[in-house]
Amino acid sequence: MAEQEQPQIYLISPPEFELSRFPDQLARVLDSREIACFRLALASQDEDRIARAADACRAVCHERDIAIVISQHLRLAERLGLDGVHLDGARGIRDARTELGEDAIVGAFCGASRHDGMNAGEAGADYVSFGPVGDTPLGDGTRADLELFSWWSEMIEVPVVAEGALDQDLVASLSSAVDFFGIGSEIWTAEDPAVALSTLLARM
């Protein structure tokens, strides 16, 4: 297997943020190192709130030629001028591709399931993300481990993202087996998220 390039960074928004402050924070992080993509992953179902957040974040990302995708809200992706959608599992990938077109980014989160990941890849996902990779009180305690990523990177061509409760040790151990690190909650609670990102990736 050819020596792999260093994984790229896929930034994920916090589930809630202050619209008056977050776009500036985002800009500082995007300017601090090369970022491949940004995912707007708000917990809110309020379309007006999501739209205002998307407008602000899209401006920051597109100013820097960085793609921005939205979690789940397929109908909003095109309407808000975003670059694609991030779905939960393989269901809906074909519909998203039909609706958004071939150039859109369509990704899928597949937990720790090879089966779901392969289904997503076969359905046409541009990437598959697995996680959480670290310990988190969320979910049922299932983790996506190094073996899953190693197997995927050897057997499957679809790019793979590792996300969820990353730390320096996990970044170091997973670097040779993933295409992207999905980083969000690990940095946004820090006083300076850009410094927190640099620290997290110090051993990559």
- Residue boundaries of the structural domains of the chain: 8-200
pLDDT band at 135 (very low <50, low <70, confident <90, very high): confident
Looking at residues 22-50, what average pLDDT do you find? 97
pLDDT band at 161 (very low <50, low <70, confident <90, very high): very high
Question: Which pLDDT value is given to residue 24?
Answer: 97
Tell me the CATH number of domain 8-200, given options 3.90.1580.10, 3.20.20.70, 3.90.1300.10, 3.40.50.1820: 3.20.20.70
Q: How many CA atoms lie within 13 A of 11 on its CB side?
A: 27
Using a 10 angstrom Cβ sphere, with 0-12 exposed, 13-18 middle and 19 or more buried, the burial of residue 155 is exposed
Question: What does the mean pLDDT of the chain come to?
Answer: 95
pLDDT at residue 7 above 60? yes
Question: Which pLDDT value is given to residue 1?
Answer: 30
pLDDT at residue 4 above 60? no
Nearest to 42 by CA among 54, 31, 59, 56: 54
Q: What is the pTM of this model?
A: 0.95
